[in-house]
Chain A
Amino acid sequence: MEKDKKTGIGGKVILGITALFFYLPILYIIVFSFNDSRSLTKFSGFSLRWYEKMFADRTMMEAVVYTVVIAVLATVVSTIVGTLAAIGLSRSRRALRNVVEQVNNLPIMNPEIVTAIGLLMFFSAIGIAKGFATLLLAHIMFCTPYVILSVSPKLRSLDPNLADAALDLGATPVQALTKVIVPQIMPGIISGALIAFTMSFDDFIISYFVTGNGVNNISILVYTMSKRVNPSINALSTLVIVLITVALLIVNLIPFMRERRRKSI
């Protein structure tokens, strides 16, 4: 906003403190995952013992597997369902569209704990046993609205005549869908899938309420284990941090690298 467009010394100090505030706790937990002792406050030497313990711990490894499997399944299902619903929605009557959009926003606008208890009572009423199935259904339920929110703007800027033209030229509806519409809205689908994956991967509150019978994800495990000192949580946390950061860097760097390659050609 200033003419010279340079961050002054005061601004640099603010940004420095901000970076410290955001990343110090993350670094702290990574450093202490390599601590030789049980202490959370005194670093007594480098060791990999908490990682060994983590990989040997069956509940921890199961939680990692459940988290990844649920996140992948929920992402695939909610991306497909959300994309199809968004396309259908873009061609629906205004009244229906308004209602669906309002209901779709409920899980996003409601406090998570409210969504969670609603699902808990619903699953219990229809008699599904708490566990993998309820966890997966719940994750699909809260991920899909984000996919729709991310795909819909792309559909609004899409020329509706394109699909009609394809149909007039003899394409089947499926061909018109997969060869004309979907490629045009691909960026929205990809960012929707990414949001769905991280929402599912990181979810705690809804999962905590709807799961049971020993099916835990990483968040639930961290919550229940944090009641007493257990440095394996640091190792598990580090694993989560590294996985998500690498995924984010890849996603953020791909468009950047593509741009670069295009420029160098």
Chain B
Amino acid sequence: MRQFRSMVYPYVLWIAIMIVVPMLMILLYAFTKEGNSVTTFRFTLENFGRFFRDAVFLDVLKRSLVIAVFTTVVCVLLGYPIAYVIASGPEKSSVFWILMITIPTWINMLVRTYAWVGILQDDGLLNHLLGLLGIGPFHIMYTTFAVVLGMVYNFIPFMILQIHTSLAKMDKSLLEAANDLGANRLQTFLRVTLPLSLPGVLSGITLVFLPAVSSFFIPKLLGGGQYVLIGNVIETQFLTSGDWNFGSAISLIMAIIIMLSMYLTRKVDTDPAANGRRE
């Protein structure tokens, strides 16, 4: 058993340098300001104060959260029926459809987001199709709708795959039991299928909410230069303004919000009352 144990040590050193040190640097920068001639830097909470005192930044944070929550809700509402249909079909077609959902996730996100630019133009494909139905044309590009659409398009596969996994794992005899005991299809779904698939929904929520809240190229490509989310603010601080202290503080605020929401989601998952499991 002892053989090969030492093979992990180089990797321990590597992650200490490449993962732990950069994370500590974010902490250090977030809580410091460049100093004067006496000290190279000094500890301060000023970076956080600047963020929370400024209505503009708070608005950006609020908008990012609203859009991320909205995207997540849309992904659940659309993703659940899709996963359900895939899971309830014959085995062979399930495998095929899961592959169909997976392939786009392997293609470059940036390329797939850029693909919508032509479709959403005022004289683009979507408005042409809507025109055939006698509606529109609408101005879609550079609106919140376009940004949410881009996020749903990029992130909904994670939701579908998670829900499908938990639906596929479900013990099918439970459904027969419910049926034998006189439950109709709606009752079976609400009392058996839905509660049992909830863990999949919850991990899907985390997988969608996290990239949605921190995304910065989707708002830039589909929302335009004026459309600013929290990720765009971080990008600007690091690549344009060069204020690493402030940028680190914003990233930390974002990371804490994400950790809190993941903690809450996990709490729902382990709480049997909220999970709908009744004795």
Chain A interface (Cβ < 8 Å from any Cβ of B):
1-2, 5-7, 10-11, 14-15, 18-19, 21-26, 28-29, 32, 40-42, 81, 84-85, 87-89, 91-92, 96, 100, 103-104, 106-107, 109-115, 117-122, 125, 137, 141, 144, 160, 163-164, 167, 173, 176-177, 181, 198, 201-202, 204-205, 209, 218-219, 222-223, 226, 233, 237, 240-241, 244-245, 248, 252
Residues of A close to B87: CB separation below 8 A = 1
Alpha-carbon distance between A96 and B6 when the two chains are bound, in angstroms: 12
State whether A91 and B5 are in contact (beta carbons under 8 Å apart), knowing that A117-B248, A122-B25 are contacts in the complex.
yes
Contact B114 A226 (CB under 8 A): yes
> In the complex, which residue of chain B has the Cβ closest to the Cβ of A163?
B3
Decide: A240 and B107 in contact? CB cutoff 8 A.
Answer: yes
Q: Can you name 23 A-B residue pairings with CB atoms under 8 Å?
A: A11-B89, A14-B85, A15-B82, A24-B119, A41-B123, A41-B124, A84-B11, A100-B8, A110-B255, A111-B210, A122-B25, A173-B4, A177-B4, A201-B108, A219-B110, A222-B114, A233-B114, A237-B115, A240-B111, A244-B108, A245-B103, A248-B106, A252-B99
A187 CA to B32 CA in the complex, in Å?
A: 47
Report A-chain residues with C-beta under 8 Å of the C-beta of B82: 14-15, 18
Q: Which one of A14, A173, A202 contacts B109 once the chains associate, using CB atoms below 8 Å?
A: A202
Beta-carbon contact of B5 and A111 below 8 Å: no
With known contacts A241-B107, A244-B108, A28–B4 Cβ distance under 8 A = no
Q: Does B195 contact A (CB under 8 A)?
A: no
Say whether B125 contacts A41, CB under 8 Å.
yes
B194 on the A face (CB < 8 A): no
Residues of A within 8 A of B9 (CB): 88
Of the listed residues A121, A173, A181, the one surrounded by the most CB atoms of chain B closer than 10 A to its CB is A121
Bound form: Cα–Cα A125–B22 in Å:
10
B35-43, B54-62, B231-239, B263-271 - the one binding chain A: B231-239
**Do B104 and A26 touch (CB < 8 A)?**
yes
- Are the C-beta atoms of A14 and B7 separated by less than 8 Å? no
Q: Which residues of B lie under 8 Å from residue A22 when comparing CB positions?
A: 100-101, 104, 153, 157
For B, the interface residue count at a CB cutoff of 8 angstroms equals: 84
Q: Which parts of B1-39 form the interface with A (CB within 8 Å)?
A: 1-12, 14-16, 18-23, 25-26, 29
* B:112-131 near A, CB below 8 Å: 112, 114-119, 121, 123-125
Q: Closest residue to B79 on the A side, CB-wise?
A: A18
> Is B93 in the interface zone, CB < 8 Å from A?
yes
Across the interface, do B90 and A114 meet the contact criterion of CB distance under 8 Å? no
Cβ contact within 8 Å between A121 and B29? yes
Extra contacts besides A24-B125, A117-B251 (9): CB < 8 Å: A15-B82, A40-B121, A88-B5, A88-B7, A111-B258, A120-B238, A122-B21, A205-B217, A252-B99
Residues of B within 8 A of A (CB): 1-12, 14-16, 18-23, 25-26, 29, 81-82, 85-91, 93, 97, 99-101, 103-104, 106-112, 114-119, 121, 123-125, 153, 157, 167, 170, 172, 175, 193, 210-211, 213-214, 216-217, 220-221, 231, 234-235, 238-239, 244, 247-248, 251, 254-255, 258
B97, A25: Cβ atoms under 8 Å? no
Q: Assess whether A117 is in contact with B247, with CB atoms less than 8 Å apart.
A: yes
- Give every chain A residue within 8 A of B14 (Cβ-Cβ): 81, 144
Chain A residue at minimal CB-CB distance from B26: A118
Q: Let me know if B235 and A113 touch, CB within 8 A.
A: yes
- Set of chain A residues within 8 Å of B167, measured between Cβ atoms: 1
List chain B residues, Cβ under 8 A from A85. 7-8, 10-11
Evaluate contact between A1 and B172: CB separation under 8 angstroms. Answer: yes
B97/A88 in contact, CB under 8 A: no
Cβ–Cβ contact A11 & B85, under 8 A: yes
A202/B99 in contact, CB under 8 A: no
Asked whether A92 and B99 contact (CB < 8 A) given A14-B81, A244-B107, the answer is: no
Q: With A7-B85, A89-B8, A117-B248 given, is the CB distance from A28 to B114 under 8 Å?
A: no
Contact present for A5 and B3 (CB under 8 Å): no
Q: How far is the CA of A144 from the CA of B87 in the complex (A)?
A: 32
Q: Which one of A21, A28, A106, A121 lies within 8 Å of B25 (CB-CB)?
A: A121
Distance between Cα atoms of A125 and B244 in the complex (Å): 12
Given contacts A104-B15, A117-B234, contact A28 B119 (CB under 8 A): yes
A222 touches B4 (CB 8 A): no
Pairwise interchain contact B25-A81, C-beta atoms closer than 8 A: no
CA separation between A14 and B29, bound complex, in Å?
A: 49
Ranked nearest first, the 9 interchain pairs of A and B with the lowest CB-CB distance are A118-B22, A88-B8, A88-B7, A111-B214, A40-B118, A85-B11, A25-B115, A11-B85, A29-B115
Instruction: Report the minimum CB–CB distance from A132 to chain B (whole Å).
Output: 17
Contact call A84/B3, Cβ cutoff below 8 A: no
Report chain B residues within 8 Å CB of A81: 10-11, 14
Contact of A32 among B118, B220, B251 (CB under 8 A): B118
| Cβ contact of A25, chosen from B10, B100, B116, cutoff 8 A | B116
Are B114 and A92 interface neighbours, CB within 8 A?
Answer: no
How distant is the Cα of A163 from the Cα of B214 in the complex, in angstroms? Answer: 45
Find the A residue at minimum CB distance from B217. Answer: A223
